Amino acid sequence: MSPGSRTHAGGIQPSASFFRPVRPVYHPPSIESANQHVYNLGPLSNGSEEPLTSVENHTTENEDTKQRPRPSREPLLPLVSRPSLSRPSASSSSRLVRNSLERVFSLRRGLSVDSLHKARSPREGEEHGMFDLPSASGYNKSTAAEYSEHITPSASPAPSFMPPLKEAGPPRCAKPIIDPKTQKPLRNYQLHPSRNHFFFGGRLLTGGDSPWAFLGTLFLLFGLTGTWFGTTAVYWWHHVSPAVAAVGVYLALITISSMLATATRDPGILPRDIDPDPPFPTTSPSDGGMRAPMPRDLKVRADVVRVKYCPTCKTYRPPRSSHCKMCDNCVDGCDHHCQWVNNCIGRRNYTTFFVLLFSATTTLVLVIVTSAIHLYLLVHWNHLAFKDALRHGAGSAVVFSVGILVIWPVAALLSYHMRLLLLNVTTIEQIRNQAHKSLVPGPAPPNPFSHGSWRRNLLAVLCRPVGYSWLDAGGEATRDEREINPGLVEG
């Protein structure tokens, strides 16, 4: 592209220096600028300094040789006059470096950019370069005060570009609620409006149902296992094999621990007051009743699941959740409320509940089989009559009878939940499907939560993590003290 060709249609043609940049030429310093003792940063050369040629020399050489000048490696600089290009002395170089470092450290310690520009701006009647420093001969108190104010780190004022310090204490969006009696922060469980009972600072909880069924089940469990350990396990330890007693201890510990974990763990209580102002339909119902908040439809895989609004908890329940009337809570993944453990069975304790059923059934089978074998060995090995064997092995006879009575409901409940587990269906969903079949002919709607095979369903339910508690009963209760934006207030 030649310099004479146009680059813009109807625009201004650039100069020739735009297409063929040349090395910038600086004029020698004048006498007036030399008397001002202004120090400038110039390029340093290892050997002898190369003389600089003027624009006229370049023009004459180009016309004589008819060759294109060699392009410069230096960046294009504006053609402004520089006072000096001579190498600065050692004192001026050290002073230049020192002042540059002072400026850098002043910026680090809070020097404002505006003050730096103000200090660097030239005074009237003077022309300075980008790296010019005040002259030593022109020293006066005003100049010293100005540079000590803007450059000296110790005398730098408060930074203008730094944000103000935040107020100490918790933010206004999470102010702790203080108990007026004890002057201590309240916990979430102390303000939670439900029928649950909390213990040990909110770490443990029980349901709002009567605790007698749970206490009776716990007494039966301890009584049955204690009797078996005192009679049958002792006989097996001394006469047959200690491994049977060890297995019995292991199963009993699993059953007791899983029962306590199911009864005292948060099943997945959902937070309240998330949707205090739900949308309502524009028209009233035809029967004259109160308007109910509109439901929401959520897409789960290829199907659509409708979720409803809970007026008690003032929130939209997520899929597979339900409000428990016994505990007065919305529970995530609610399966049912079990009175035998006095707690809801939800997403966070369903795994321990299933382990409780499985270990209890296995323990009952072990108790029944070992107690029956104990009575059989007393009759055949010790040659005792059956009545005498019952008298010598009274503990085995008792645990055998109680085990036969208890194993049937426990095994039936285990088989029922095994079927639900393989289908990935909750107890409430199973009841709804049965009601749907009785009201609407035809097959029940497909389950959108199934993973396609019983193996995947089994792993998805039993191997999922417990997750965090939505309630956080032991955490500090907070409230939002932020003021409403006046621009959002109507009227």
Higher pLDDT: 215 or 390? It is 215
* Active-site entry in 310, 330, 334, 338: 338
pLDDT at 13: 60
Give the tens place of pLDDT for each residue, 294-334. 889 888 888 888 899 999 999 999 999 999 999 999 999 99
Predicted confidence (pLDDT) at residue 145 exceeds the cutoff of 80: no
Higher pLDDT: 460 or 18? It is 460
CB-CB neighbours of 184 under 10 Å: 10
pLDDT at 225: 93
Beta bridge partners of 315: 310
Q: How far is CA 52 from CA 24, 46, 65, in A?
A: 9, 16, 19
Q: How far apart are CA 188 and CA 201, in angstroms?
A: 10
How many residues are present in the chain?
491
Q: How far apart are CA 327 and CA 195, in angstroms?
A: 5
SS (H, E, C) the chain: CCCCCCCCCCCCCCCHHHHCCCCCCCCCCCHHHHHCCCCCCCCCCCCCCCCCCCHHHHHHHHHHHCCCCCCCCCCCCCCCCCCCCCCCCHHHHHHHHHHHHHHHHHHHCCCCHHHHHHHHCCCCCCCCCCCCCCCCCCCCHHHHHHHHHHCCHHHCCCCCCCCCCCCCCCCHHHEECECCCCCCECEHHHHCCCCCEEECCCCEEECCCCCHHHHHHHHHHHHHHHHHHHCHHHHHHHHHCHHHHHHHHHHHHHHHHHHHHHHHCCCCECCCCCCCCCCCCCCCCCCCCCCCCCCEEEEECCEEEEECEECCCCEECCCCCEEECCCCEEECCCCEEECCCCEEECCCCHHHHHHHHHHHHHHHHHHHHHHHHHHHHHHHCCCCCHHHHHHHCHHHHHHHHHHHHHHHHHHHHHHHHHHHHHHCCCHHHHHHHHHHHHHCCCCCCCCCCCCCCHHHHHHHHHCCCCCCCCCCCCCECEECCCCCCHHHCCC
Give the tens place of pLDDT for each residue, 32-86. 544 444 445 455 444 444 444 444 444 444 444 445 555 545 444 444 444 444 4
pLDDT at 15: 61
Burial of residue 483 (number of CB atoms within 10 Å: 0-12, 13-18, 19+): exposed
Q: How far apart are CA 151 and CA 102, in angstroms?
A: 6
CB of 462 within 8 A of CB of 351?
Answer: yes
Residues 6+ apart with CB under 8 A from 233: 244, 245, 248, 370
Q: How far apart are CA 164 and CA 34, in angstroms?
A: 46
Q: How far apart are CA 252 and CA 305, in angstroms?
A: 41
Cα of first residue to Cα of last residue in the chain, in angstroms, is 67
Burial of residue 379 (number of CB atoms within 10 Å: 0-12, 13-18, 19+): middle
Predicted confidence (pLDDT) at residue 209 exceeds the cutoff of 90: no
Q: How far is CA 47 from CA 50, 53, 485, in A?
A: 9, 18, 70
Read off the tokens for 16: 């020739």
Range from 160-164, 277-281, 284-288, 339-343 carrying the lowest mean pLDDT? 160-164
Read off the tokens for 199: 């213990």
pLDDT at 102: 58
310 is catalytic: no
Beta bridge partners of 306: 297
Higher pLDDT: 232 or 44? It is 232
Predicted confidence (pLDDT) at residue 21 exceeds the cutoff of 70: no
pLDDT at 114: 52
Mean pLDDT (the chain, rounded): 76
CB of 337 within 8 A of CB of 350?
Answer: no
Dmax over CA atoms of the chain, in Å, equals 138
pLDDT at 390: 82
Position 17 confidence tier, pLDDT thresholds 50, 70, 90: low
pLDDT at 370: 93
Predicted confidence (pLDDT) at residue 267 exceeds the cutoff of 90: yes
Predicted confidence (pLDDT) at residue 366 exceeds the cutoff of 80: yes
Provide the percentage of residues in the chain whose pLDDT is more than 90.
32
Predicted confidence (pLDDT) at residue 256 exceeds the cutoff of 90: yes
Position 148 confidence tier, pLDDT thresholds 50, 70, 90: very low
Average pLDDT over residues 171-199: 89
Position 138 confidence tier, pLDDT thresholds 50, 70, 90: very low
- Phi, psi for 28 (deg, rounded to 5): -65, 155
Q: How far apart are CA 351 and CA 462, in angstroms?
A: 6
Give the tens place of pLDDT for each residue, 410-441. 999 999 999 999 999 999 989 988 887 888 87
Position 128 confidence tier, pLDDT thresholds 50, 70, 90: very low
pTM of the model: 0.63
CB of 275 within 8 A of CB of 387?
Answer: no
